[in-house]
């Protein structure tokens, strides 16, 4: 799933490359296009966007938002959604569901291998499901506000980090990275965390996400359909040595998601896994 670091860089690239361009043509590619596109205006999706000029590209949590005069296209890529910026003659990737032909000669394409994402055309961003309830952005929250918001939750700390209503933009992969930086076991209960550990968690969130944005920016370039993650310390590194202590990275599968962590650096519960 694209998370804050990838989407932040995608936003930067699109700000440079598509803001100010006009959509010359809209192609909804069947059958997936009809599944991922949700026209909340109850109008004609293609007609509404044809001739419209992209005025702003923004990110909010794990949404990318293209703004037009009086309209928004809010993109929630979910598990496998990607945007691709390509020339009109470039071969389309498999599972391309939407093509926006731009006045610049490029195409902005939405690709989704599992057809799980949604693209909402709306006049009110808060009408897009899950948008209005998003919590603050990680880079916009102070340590004191982070601590205060955290007190409202009582579950496992990894699950809390991935809740969009707590903090916007963190998913499964970067929750693993943040907790590794903080030396916290992913299944520790929030109620078990000491004030020092909460402070460490806040600093780890800032460091892990900011460093990741820099890494993604360097490795992605303008190939916005890529998802560079080889630099991650623990996520999807099962069995590899921990970069900090050398112990093998553990894997636990719970609630249909993979959690990677170091049992030596992140001591905690007695959980079965690799």
Which tens digit of pLDDT belongs to each residue from 117-176? 999 999 999 999 999 999 999 999 999 999 999 999 999 999 999 999 999 999 999 999
192 and 155, same structural domain?
A: yes
- The residue among 103, 127, 151 that closes a domain is 127
Dihedral of CA atoms 256, 262, 264, 266 in degrees, nearest 10, equals -70
189 catalytic per annotation? no
Of 169, 208, 232, 174, nearest to 11 by C-alpha is 169
Of 266, 272, 244, nearest to 186 by C-alpha is 266
Active-site pick, 59, 60, 62, 237: 62
Active-site pick, 25, 227, 244, 257: 257
Active-site pick, 3, 6, 12, 177: 3
Which pTM does this prediction carry?
Answer: 0.94
39 and 142, same structural domain?
A: no
234 and 166, same structural domain?
A: yes
* DSSP, res 63: E
CATH code, 153: 1.10.8.50
CATH code, 113: 3.20.190.10
Of 129, 180, 154, 161, nearest to 3 by C-alpha is 161
Range of 206's domain?
138-261
Q: Please state whether 115 falls in left (phi above 0), alpha (psi between -120 and 50) or beta.
A: left
Is residue 267 in a domain?
A: no
82 catalytic per annotation? no
172 and 100, same structural domain?
A: no
203 and 99, same structural domain?
A: no
- The residue among 99, 127, 155 that closes a domain is 127
Is residue 237 in a domain?
A: yes
Is residue 123 in a domain?
A: yes
> Quick one: pLDDT band at residue 272, thresholds 50, 70, 90?
very low
Overall number of domains in the chain = 2
164 and 116, same structural domain?
A: no
CA angle 65, 68, 72 (to 5 degrees): 40
2 catalytic per annotation? yes
pLDDT digits (tens, 9 = 90+) for 54-101: 999 999 999 999 999 999 999 999 999 999 999 999 999 999 999 999
219 and 108, same structural domain?
A: no
- Whether the Cβ atoms of residue 218 and residue 240 lie closer than 8 Å to each other: no
- The residue among 93, 127, 161 that closes a domain is 127
């Amino acid at each position: 799933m694209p998370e804050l670091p990838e989407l932040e860089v995608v936003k930067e690239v699109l700000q440079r490359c598509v803001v100010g361009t006009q959509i010359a043509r809209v192609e909804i590619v069947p059958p997936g296009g009809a599944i991922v596109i949700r026209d909340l205006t109850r109008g004609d999706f293609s007609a509404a966007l044809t001739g419209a000029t992209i005025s702003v590209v923004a990110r909010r949590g794990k949404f990318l938002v293209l703004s037009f005069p009086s309209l928004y296209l809010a993109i929630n890529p979910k598990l496998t959604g990607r945007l691709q910026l390509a020339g009109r003659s470039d071969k389309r990737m498999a599972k391309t569901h939407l093509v926006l032909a731009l006045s610049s000669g490029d195409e902005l394409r939405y690709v989704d291998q599992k057809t799980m994402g949604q693209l909402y055309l709306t006049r009110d961003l808060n009408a897009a499901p899950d948008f209005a309830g998003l919590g603050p952005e990680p880079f916009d929250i102070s340590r004191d506000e982070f601590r205060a918001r955290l007190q409202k939750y009582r579950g496992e700390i990894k699950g809390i980090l991935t809740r969009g209503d707590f903090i916007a933009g963190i998913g499964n992969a970067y929750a693993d990275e943040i907790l590794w930086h903080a030396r916290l076991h992913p299944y520790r209960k929030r109620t078990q965390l000491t004030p020092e550990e909460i402070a460490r968690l806040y600093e780890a969130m800032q460091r892990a996400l900011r460093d990741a944005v820099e890494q993604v920016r360097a490795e992605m370039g303008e190939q916005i359909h890529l998802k560079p993650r080889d630099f991650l310390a623990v996520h999807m590194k099962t069995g590899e040595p921990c970069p900090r202590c050398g112990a093998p990275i553990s894997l636990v599968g719970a609630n249909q998601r993979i959690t990677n962590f170091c049992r030596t650096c992140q001591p905690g519960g007695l959980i079965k896994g690799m």
